[in-house]
Amino acid sequence: MIRRERHERWMRRALSVASTSPRDVPVGAVVLGPDGAELAAAGNERELTGDPTAHAEVLALRRAAAAVGEWRLDGCTLVVTLEPCTMCAGALVLARIATVVFGAWEPKTGAVGSLWDVVRDPRLNHRPEVYGGVLDDECGDLMRGFFRDRDA
């Protein structure tokens, strides 16, 4: 019960980050240190920067690495509102993230259990713990609302 409450609290923070960019797909990511302190947060910035790799997860990982002064994020947790894609799943494995907590499942591009399961591939040298579907409804509603409003 305590873990679930902690994951939900962290996901609410990621949801608040996701809502900050009105032009981009509303995905928010937060990296927490081993002690649970927030190291970095980011929303998608692809539209803002014109950078196809400016996904919330990648930006949060970069900022967290800068905050700790190295690329290895051992013991850290990545919390993100949408199941990571293959690029982001690969990046979090390479960063040695210990735990991934995500909200909405992404059956079209998800790489943490939906379409692929990059993070649990036994051929890789690092496999984080995964908790999916945390505040799934709220995270999914944010995505559906964005696309409904955009396509209206």
Averaged over 132-152, what is the pLDDT? 90
Active-site annotation holder among 5, 8, 45, 57: 57
Q: Output the CA angle 135-101-149, nearest 5 degrees.
A: 50
pLDDT digits over 3-58, tens only?
Answer: 999 999 999 999 999 977 778 999 999 999 999 999 999 999 999 999 999 999 99
Question: Known catalytic residue: 57?
Answer: yes
What residues form the annotated binding site for Zn(2+)? 55, 85, 88
Three-class DSSP category at 124: coil
Domain extent listing, the chain? 1-143
Q: Is the pLDDT at 151 greater than 90, yes or no?
A: no
- Going from the C-alpha of 141 to that of each of 40, 144, 150, the distances in angstroms are 24, 5, 14
What's the pLDDT at 85?
98
Binding residues: 55, 85, 88
Write the pLDDT tens digit of every residue in 59-115. 999 999 999 999 999 999 999 999 999 999 999 999 999 999 999 999 999 999 999
What CATH superfamily classification does 1-143 receive? Answer: Cytidine Deaminase, domain 2 (3.40.140.10)
Instruction: Enter the pTM of the model.
Output: 0.95
Residue 152 has pLDDT above 70, yes or no: no
Asked if 130 and 93 count as a contact pair (C-beta separation under 8 A), the reply is no
